[in-house]
Structure 1
Amino acid sequence: MLEPHGDELHHRASVKGLDFDTVVIADTESDSGSDPTSASLRMAYDVMITRARQRLVLGWQGSRLPTHLEGLVRWLRSR
């Protein structure tokens, strides 16, 4: 996760309680093998995503959206 003017990089496990203008989660495909309904996976993404004050950028390798992000996309489109 990067802060645009402070250029801070944080591991996903250390961002709880912090806020950033922009949050970049670049490696979402690394979680695609996990159960998308897993409470720990959902909680981890909740913590990471809610750190963004203005922009959230999700990145992944491959041509398909990682399974665990499908519900998030539906949620974002409903906003």
Structure 2
Amino acid sequence: MVYPLPVWYDFQARLAKVPSTSVAKAKLLERVNYFGQPATFDVQGRVLIPSILREVAGIADDVVVLGSTDHL
């Protein structure tokens, strides 16, 4: 998922309110901390999917990106 930084910061603030004993929170943080990284748009408005994410997802060709109100 790709979030604008203000939306991501809001998500982090809400996540901080979840008890640290939450198994779901721990699983989410494990994935986000391992795979999460900043991304930027190129001059054509595209986001480069980092190679580690392409490898894990088995992406070798074109992909379809779906968006929601505040994230891709």
TM-score (norm 1): 0.32
Structure having the larger proportion of residues in helix: 2
Bigger share in strand = 1
Higher relative contact order (CA 8 A, sep 6+): 2
Greater Rg by CA: 2
TM-score (norm 2): 0.35
